[in-house]
Amino acid sequence: MIRASVIVFPGSNCDRDVKVAIERITGVAPAMIWHGDASVPASDLIVLPGGFSYGDYLRCGAMAAHSPIMKDVISKAKAGTPVLGICNGFQVLCESGLLPGVLMRNRSLKFICKDVHLRVERDDTFFSRCYRKGEVIKVPIAHAEGNYFADTDTLDRLEGEGRVAFRYCDEAGVVSDATSPNGAQRNIAGITDSTGRILGMMPHPERLYEAALGGTDGRRIFESAVISLTADAA
């Protein structure tokens, strides 16, 4: 049985989407944990969902990163509990220091909501083992601040350590400035920590996990986690 916890912040609006996706894929409903709680129950997986935590005041994710629950999320993440941050959750991971960089305003200065193509850069991490390296998948985005930024040294380190999980690309897998919907440096759509057990990504895999939603490319994020947890327990 997979014990998952979804953190709910004021302004989260994708928490129930993630809950349904996890329950449909694993057969077990995750615990929904309020941001004001002091601790996360024993969990095999923690998810920081998308939305507009605290109305995106100051910077996206900046206030949520200081919610009471985050102290325990950070502690458990550093102890090895896998953490998935989606959209606003990615922003919170960066603001909390669990991942490097920051998510800035889209270069168009507009909110963008559409399906995008992603190239899978790693197929051997906790959240990506059900994909193939170089595979092109389609996942929706919905954000105004998805423009990933980091200094050159940080970007080079991410590249050198193989921590770029997904890049924006075209249907053929070609990565170029034109295929980045938000201006993200090096077309970065998702990154991991050094262990591969913490993943932050701007696209929403929970919105494309079954055919009735228009596709299943997002499903394998969660299936990868299940397989990885099973391997951990073996």
CA 218 – CA 141 distance, rounded (Å): 12
- The string of pLDDT tens digits covering residues 136-164 is 999 999 999 999 999 999 999 999 999 99
| pLDDT interval class at 233 (50, 70, 90) | confident
Question: Integer distance in angstroms from the first to the last C-alpha of the chain?
Answer: 13
Is 87 annotated as catalytic?
yes
What's the predicted TM-score (pTM) here?
A: 0.97
pLDDT tens-place string over residues 39-61: 999 999 999 999 999 988 888 99
> In terms of C-beta density within 10 A (0-12 exposed, 13-18 middle, 19 or more buried), how is residue 218 classed?
buried
Judge whether 35 counts as a catalytic residue.
no
Out of 121, 145, 206, 223, which one is annotated catalytic? 206
Residue 206 falls in the annotated catalytic set? yes
Instruction: Please identify which of the residues 87, 117, 121, 145 carries the catalytic annotation.
Output: 87
Domains, the chain, ordered by start: 4-233 (3.40.50.880)
